[in-house]
């Protein structure tokens, strides 16, 4: 039995609120249950130095957590003077995942930075960031098209993400904090609408996991993915 | 004429939403028009080293701005590896101001940290932070009382803050970003309900200002202060 | 009664020694009683990146304290790896204040950096820095004129600064350390010769202050200002 | 055809040289072909603050690359003043993986730090680090037993790691640099002797990968794992 | 011929002004010609962690240069966020040298930190720092004795330092900046009154130097040393 | 009697292994007994900003120690976020010494960075770094010549280095760690084949040293230098 009373294959309630703030070219508040992440996509002319003159754009992500997004207050990374390893690892994952949604060659020499800032954390902040960040990214792309700053459509495919895990021996999807902190195995899956895999990151927190468990978890992720893509399409006014 | 069409003595619409997030002992979203700041007050047992054994508590504040709270994206301070001078200056001001609301001797050996994170900026983020932070601080104090962690009531007085300035020759209150960036003089005033002054920080951005202008600005601040205290009392269910 | 035996409206003995060191284009040792600050103004060709091509100059300030300028040794900021919030706040204030002395449009594409390094501290280091820094700044401007590097005269007006406060219930001017550490209210005022205000930063250290007290403090600042400008003019060989 | 001429399921030549340096309690040079990593395991009394009094030990890892371990010189992280995101991500992975080899409860209040420093890089530095680090870790445990510093045997199981990927459409094992930089999909697998999975981190570098490809890659990893465990057992003088 | 017109064996005019600032237990302004360094010795109870319980004291030094001590303005190390290699090298040298003046066993568990801050630089700042720092250190020791905080006399011997070099083929003593920047070889010598050597650091800036040149330089240092010790004794009111 | 049983004038066994790693233009493992340092020389086009357009090249060095190169584990400088003073001091010495081997005017606008990373430390890491780094540097120069990237030969002379000291009253050469940590005086000497001195850095660790001792130590260094140059020539296939 899950602490939340959810079925093993039942993700939390998911909402995607576009235009959540006013300045960003794409601004989405994503909620996976009590996990709330503000995903702001910013368009800037130019690309990083190592891409200059290559006639392509760039998509990157940054991740942060407000100090009291969590049960107990965490130190402010800006005050400590550096981003922690967990933060850097997560923002690298978000960036890689979001780049799978875009044809960088068609983006022109623009950089889109997707800032994912966790307002409230209850497990699954990185998967929510990818799912919401993809919507913000598409809004930023639409902005570029609307302003006629790019001619071609760099959008390639929707990308979404969900966590799966083995909790008290049972494979479950979209772990909240009580499950996440007690799970034997935790896996984050980044997927495309067509059923393809972009990232699979599974970790045995205690013991190990089997190939069979891995497959059960991937099945759950696939099922939840269908719902996530539906949410994304609906938010963006896309047809399935 | 003000860009927003407001009267010189008319502050923006102000809202204070308590219990905005779930984990913090006090969590208030404060809005001064389009300026939105999340103020989370966190209670922690213990005091900074230099206060140990002095039989008193401590109240401090930290301030941050989400990278795309502003018109153009600002670098993430955590990524740059340090907080800028403006950030440090503002959080020192917020901390000093909020300590005026509390009798630290009655707080016991607890530290309350008020994190003020700007979700969307449109001028006046520091005054909104103080005004909203005070409400979050009181919620944190009530938490300590409810949990019977302290016996006495450390609450001393409400503290609120508003900006005033000289915009195109006219004294105005609660400047939004278009006014703030074009004002000749900008002043932040921190006040108590009884009409006392906690902080007055006036800066001539161009030219200088006279004693008469200073007084006109303080009159405006006093008027707006009455409204701010009314908002705070209403949010907290206090009588005037 | 003031610990020093001074009258409430009596500033400390003030001296301004020009050409204190040999390399800087302007080098002034300013003494407000036992507070001694070395103000070195350095001329460098070019302006910060964000001002390039705008056909104007820039004036900025940096502030530091020798580790044993104070009663007990403070850590060296260079060794700690960052400047503290107080340092940054003060150097921002000095920079803003000194820019009020100069017409940046007439400065050409030069940057003048005024380094204010506290050799010995006894209260009022920031006000001494502004008062002495203004003299060093003018020497640097004269250097530019003497070398015919600029054609027009960028000097606009003298700027000086003094602290005022409420000490044991009485408004006093130019607080030394024993007063400063015990004052109920502390205010730094930056003024022009014409009686205008550039900066007013008042802080209630304990309790609050009234409009009447604010006015009494500003009167004291104005009185001391007249003496400071006289010292500056005398040091610079200017007529009143 | 692989650039190296290897079969798809053929790992590079693997060597594990124990006692490579003199001071560390465990010191192993691991070579996966031209990739050479020095893994030094250091025993220190005590545990991190957050584990004190919990009657258990700790195993952690740090990872670094000599500046010229790679084709072109990379900046020295110590000179840049921080470890990059890739470094932190890798050392977190190594640490988690090695903890799976140990029963921390039986380790006593000791910390074993496994430093993995890449002398020469040719792809697969993190998998080599885990494979060699496990041997160094066991030598450090044996040191503790030999010195009678612990009574029980904290060794739980061997852990090894190998990379797999899809290179030009074909699943291959143990990618060297030319393959790694051109692969469509890259996956690092951390395994136990019993066939269990500790970590699975798969990334689509271009496009996406399918469940079938994932399974093919895991089969390859399993096969190479058998060889890696054989190398570890042989190096350590253990029976299979 | 030396640019200054001095004889090869003629040091610059040397002055040692004690009690230069008010707060430090020892405060000496040392001048070697136009090189001016403020040496403040601070007494603090306690010793660094690694010396605790060893029943001895510690003497250390820190070195800094005011940004405009030099011909062109150098960046402020506190603003850059770290001390440069030259700074660290010099302060390590000063610390080692000053420890030779003291019997640490007799100092009790006190730390004396000698801050050497260069007010004006004209070559030889490190040798001036050692020479002046020694006098400040002795004043700090006398303070400890006067306050009866220590029973025994930890003073061991005077230590002084001077630079020597080969300038245009001729060995010269106490190089000023024009010589220092053009010298073929530069050597700093730290000496005791009894003729012993504490530190010898010779560097060929161009080409190399011979044993004969080394000896000629050491002879010069010895000669200048006699004068330096005389200055120190006179400043301190000691007999030769 | 030396702990190692060596004669006072007997250096440890010295080996220089070229092409130790594969990517660097010069890669030498140098061993002075149990001290092992990997010296990698990297060629990069371009020179530091302050040398641009001066039509010359640059040679610099960086130094690091693997965390467990020593008896007890030292913290990783990259993790601590800065290089220590000892590290910076050593790498500045290595850089200056190696520049004496090269005619920078003939190097073209190339920078050669010699990374000296200590794999195992047993005293004398800086002297081994210079001796081995010189060989790596020459290999990098030969690479530039072989690739016809430079026309002239920038090689000037071999440079080598050895430590000498006074151990239990006796001058000895090439101190290992037990001697180094117990020596009264420690001196590092950098020499040229022709008998010239590049650097002499002598430090009295306890007491002081005399001119006679200095000379005895230099004699020993000269003797060992002859052997070091022989090793370098042999490794490089040069005639004596």
What are the tens digits of pLDDT across the range B84-115? 999 999 999 999 999 999 999 999 999 999 99
Report the candidate in A173, A197, A83, A91 with the shortest Cα–Cα distance to residue A124.
Answer: A173
CA–centroid distance for B38 within its chain? 11
Token output for D81: 């003043």
The ipTM, to two decimals, is 0.95
pLDDT of residue F86: 96
C-alpha distance from E163 to closest chain F C-alpha (Å):
14
Structural domain contains residue C201: yes
Strand bridging mode F110-120 / F58-65? parallel
* CA C223 – CA F233 distance, rounded (Å): 81
pLDDT, tens digit (0-9, with 9 covering 90-100), for C209-239: 999 999 999 999 999 999 999 999 999 999 7
Structural domain contains residue B2: no
At E236, the pLDDT band (50, 70, 90 cuts) reads: very high
Mutate to test the interface with D, among A60, A81, A85 (most CBs of D within 10 A): A85
* CA E65 – CA F114 distance, rounded (Å): 30
What are the pLDDT tens digits along chain F (240 aa)?
899 999 999 999 999 999 999 999 999 999 999 999 999 999 999 999 999 999 999 999 999 999 999 999 999 999 999 999 999 999 999 999 999 999 999 999 999 999 999 999 999 999 999 999 999 999 999 999 999 999 999 999 999 999 999 999 999 999 999 999 999 999 999 999 999 999 999 999 888 999 999 999 999 999 999 999 999 999 999 976
Across the E/F interface, how many CB contacts are shorter than 8 Å? 86
Element (H, E) at D139: helix D125-146
CB contact under 8 A, C62 and E79: yes
CB contact under 8 A, A24 and B77: no
Structural domain contains residue B5: no
pLDDT, tens digit (0-9, with 9 covering 90-100), for B153-173: 999 999 999 999 999 999 999
C76: exposed, middle or buried (C-beta count within 10 Å: 0-12, 13-18, 19+)?
buried
pLDDT, tens digit (0-9, with 9 covering 90-100), for D120-144: 999 999 999 999 999 999 999 999 9
Cross-strand bridge partners of residue A110: A45
At B239, the pLDDT band (50, 70, 90 cuts) reads: confident
Q: Which residues of C touch B89 (CB under 8 A)?
A: 85, 88-89, 92
Structural domain contains residue B174: yes
Q: Which residues of E touch C71 (CB under 8 A)?
A: 23
Instruction: Tell me the average pLDDT across B41-65.
Output: 97
* CA C41 – CA C44 distance, rounded (Å): 10
Specify the 3-state DSSP secondary structure of B129. helix
When computed from its CA atoms, the radius of gyration of chain F, rounded to whole angstroms, is 18
Interface partners of chain C (CB pairs < 8 Å, 3 or more) are B, E
Q: Which residues of B touch A76 (CB under 8 A)?
A: 62, 64, 78, 115
Q: Which residues of D touch F113 (CB under 8 A)?
A: 67, 73
- What lies within 8 Å, CB to CB, of A58 at 6+ separation is A47, A48, A51, A104, A107, A110, A111, A112
- What lies within 8 Å, CB to CB, of D220 at 6+ separation is D8, D9, D164, D171, D172, D173
CB contact under 8 A, B69 and A23: yes
C-alpha distance from F22 to closest chain E C-alpha (Å):
31
pLDDT of residue A176: 98
* CA F99 – CA F159 distance, rounded (Å): 9
Q: Which of F42, F79, F119 sits opposite D73 (nearest CB)?
A: F42
For chain D, percent of residues with pLDDT exceeding 70: 100
Interface partners of chain A (CB pairs < 8 Å, 3 or more) are B, D
Strand order in the sheet with E58-65: E14-18, E26-32, E35-45, E110-120, E58-65
Q: Which of E36, E40, E64 sits opposite C78 (nearest CB)?
A: E64
C-alpha distance from B85 to closest chain C C-alpha (Å):
5
pLDDT of residue A240: 64
B19, closest residue in chain A (CA to CA): A120
pLDDT of residue F36: 98
C-alpha distance from E145 to closest chain C C-alpha (Å):
19
pLDDT, tens digit (0-9, with 9 covering 90-100), for E99-141: 999 999 999 999 999 999 999 999 999 999 999 999 999 999 9
Q: Which residues of E touch C24 (CB under 8 A)?
A: 68, 73
Three-state secondary structure readout of chain F:
CCCCCCCCCCCCCEEEEECCCCCCCEEEEEEECCEEEEEEEEEEECCCHHHCCCCCCEEEEEEEECCCCCCCCCCCHHHHCCCCHHHHHHHHHHHHHHHCCECHHHCCCEEEEEEEEEEECCCCHHHHHHHHHHHHHHHHHHHHHHCCCCCCCCECCCEEEEEEEEECCEEEECCCHHHHHHCCEEEEEEEECCCCEEEEEEEECCCCECHHHHHHHHHHHHHHHHHHHHHHHHHHCCCC
Residue A55 contacts residue A109 (beta carbons within 8 Å): yes
Question: How many C-beta atoms surround the C-beta of residue A50 within 10 A?
Answer: 7
CA angle in degrees (0–180, nearest 5) for D181-D185-D189 = 100
Question: How many C-beta atoms surround the C-beta of residue D216 within 10 A?
Answer: 18
Q: Which residues of D touch F77 (CB under 8 A)?
A: 78
Q: Which residues of A touch D84 (CB under 8 A)?
A: 88
CB contact under 8 A, B64 and A73: no
Q: Does D89 touch chain A (CB under 8 A)?
A: yes
CB contact under 8 A, D42 and F66: no
* CA D201 – CA C39 distance, rounded (Å): 58
At B240, the pLDDT band (50, 70, 90 cuts) reads: low
Structural domain contains residue F2: no
Residue ranges of the binding site of A for phosphate: 86, 124-126
Q: Which residues of E touch C62 (CB under 8 A)?
A: 67, 76, 79
Cross-strand bridge partners of residue C120: C36
Tokens 């260094």 label which residue?
Answer: F221
For chain D, percent of residues with pLDDT exceeding 90: 97
pLDDT of residue D240: 63
Provide the domain count of chain A: 1
Taking the whole predicted model, whether its pTM rises above 0.90 is answered as yes
CB contact under 8 A, C38 and E119: yes
E202: exposed, middle or buried (C-beta count within 10 Å: 0-12, 13-18, 19+)?
buried
Q: Which of A88, A96, A197 sits opposite D214 (nearest CB)?
A: A197
Specify the 3-state DSSP secondary structure of A96. helix
D contact residues 188-217, partner A, Cβ 8 Å cutoff: 192, 194-204, 207-211, 214
Instruction: Tell me the average pLDDT across E12-29.
Output: 98
CB contact under 8 A, C201 and B204: no
Structural domain contains residue D40: yes
Mutate to test the interface with C, among E64, E68, E90, E139 (most CBs of C within 10 A): E68
E184, closest residue in chain F (CA to CA): F198
- What lies within 8 Å, CB to CB, of A59 at 6+ separation is A95, A98, A99, A101, A102, A104, A107, A111, A112, A113, A114, A137
Q: Does E73 touch chain C (CB under 8 A)?
A: yes
When computed from its CA atoms, the radius of gyration of chain D, rounded to whole angstroms, is 18
Q: Which residues of C touch E83 (CB under 8 A)?
A: 78-79
Q: How far is CA E222 from CA B14, C201, D135, E196, E210, in A?
A: 78, 57, 59, 9, 18
Structural domain contains residue C3: no
Instruction: List the CATH number of the domain containing C18.
Output: 3.30.230.70
pLDDT of residue D1: 85
Residue count of chain E:
240
* CA C87 – CA C64 distance, rounded (Å): 7
CB contact under 8 A, A21 and B69: yes
C-alpha distance from D210 to closest chain F C-alpha (Å):
36
A190, closest residue in chain D (CA to CA): D203
Specify the 3-state DSSP secondary structure of D51. helix
pLDDT, tens digit (0-9, with 9 covering 90-100), for D142-194: 999 999 999 999 999 999 999 999 999 999 999 999 999 999 999 999 999 99
Q: Does F146 touch chain E (CB under 8 A)?
A: no
Strand bridging mode A58-65 / A110-120? parallel
D207, closest residue in chain A (CA to CA): A100
CB contact under 8 A, D89 and A85: yes
Q: Which residues in chain A show pLDDT less than 50? A: none
pLDDT of residue E7: 98
For chain E, percent of residues with pLDDT exceeding 90: 97
pLDDT, tens digit (0-9, with 9 covering 90-100), for D13-33: 999 999 999 999 999 999 999
Mutate to test the interface with C, among B84, B191, B203 (most CBs of C within 10 A): B203
Residue ranges of the binding site of C for phosphate: 86, 124-126
pLDDT of residue C240: 63
* CA B133 – CA F34 distance, rounded (Å): 62
Q: Using a CB cutoff of 8 Å and minimum separation of 24, what contacts does B229-233 make?
A: B229/B158, B229/B160, B229/B193, B231/B14, B231/B15, B231/B16, B231/B131, B232/B16, B232/B131, B232/B134, B232/B135, B232/B158, B232/B160, B233/B158
At C57, the pLDDT band (50, 70, 90 cuts) reads: very high
D contact residues 5-34, partner A, Cβ 8 Å cutoff: none
What is the residue range of B200's domain? 14-236
Interface partners of chain E (CB pairs < 8 Å, 3 or more) are C, F
Has residue B205 got a pLDDT over 90? no
Structural domain contains residue C2: no
pLDDT of residue A207: 87
Angle between helices D125-146 and D211-236 (to 10 degrees): 40
Three-state secondary structure readout of D71-104:
CCCCCCHHHHCCCCHHHHHHHHHHHHHHHCCECH
At C1, the pLDDT band (50, 70, 90 cuts) reads: confident
Three-state secondary structure readout of chain C:
CCCCCCCCCCCCCEEEEECCCCCCCEEEEEEECCEEEEEEEEEEECCCHHHCCCCCCEEEEEEEECCCCCCCCCCCHHHHCCCCHHHHHHHHHHHHHHHCCECHHHCCCEEEEEEEEEEECCCCHHHHHHHHHHHHHHHHHHHHHHCCCCCCCCECCCEEEEEEEEECCEEEECCCHHHHHHCCEEEEEEEECCCCEEEEEEEECCCCECHHHHHHHHHHHHHHHHHHHHHHHHHHCCCC
Interface partners of chain B (CB pairs < 8 Å, 3 or more) are A, C
pLDDT, tens digit (0-9, with 9 covering 90-100), for C111-154: 999 999 999 999 999 999 999 999 999 999 999 999 999 999 99
pLDDT of residue F240: 64
Q: Which residues of B touch A67 (CB under 8 A)?
A: 40, 42, 62, 113, 115, 117
């Amino acid at each position: 039995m899950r602490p939340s009373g959810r079925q093993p294959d039942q993700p939390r309630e998911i909402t995607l609120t576009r235009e959540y703030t006013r300045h960003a070219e794409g601004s989405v508040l994503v909620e996976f249950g009590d996990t709330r992440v503000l995903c702001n996509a910013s368009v800037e002319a130019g690309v990083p130095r190592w891409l200059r003159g290559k006639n392509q754009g760039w998509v990157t992500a940054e991740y942060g957590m407000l100090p009291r997004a969590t049960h107990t207050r965490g130190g402010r990374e800006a005050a400590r003077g550096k981003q922690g390893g967990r933060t850097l690892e997560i923002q690298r994952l978000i960036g890689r995942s979001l780049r799978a949604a875009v044809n960088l060659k068609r983006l022109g020499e623009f950089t889109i930075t997707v800032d994912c800032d966790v307002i409230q954390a209850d497990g699954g902040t990185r998967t929510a960031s990818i799912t919401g960040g993809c919507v913000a990214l598409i809004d930023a792309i639409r902005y570029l098209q609307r302003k006629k700053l790019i001619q071609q459509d760099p959008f390639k495919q929707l990308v979404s993400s969900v966590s799966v895990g083995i909790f008290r021996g049972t494979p479950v999807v979209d772990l909240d904090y009580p499950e996440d902190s007690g799970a034997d195995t935790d896996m984050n899956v980044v997927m495309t609408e067509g059923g393809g895999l972009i990232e699979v990151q599974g970790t045995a927190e205690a013991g190990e996991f089997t190939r069979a468990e891995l497959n059960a978890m991937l099945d759950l992720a696939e099922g939840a993915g269908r719902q996530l893509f539906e949410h994304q399409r609906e938010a963006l006014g896309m047809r399935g």
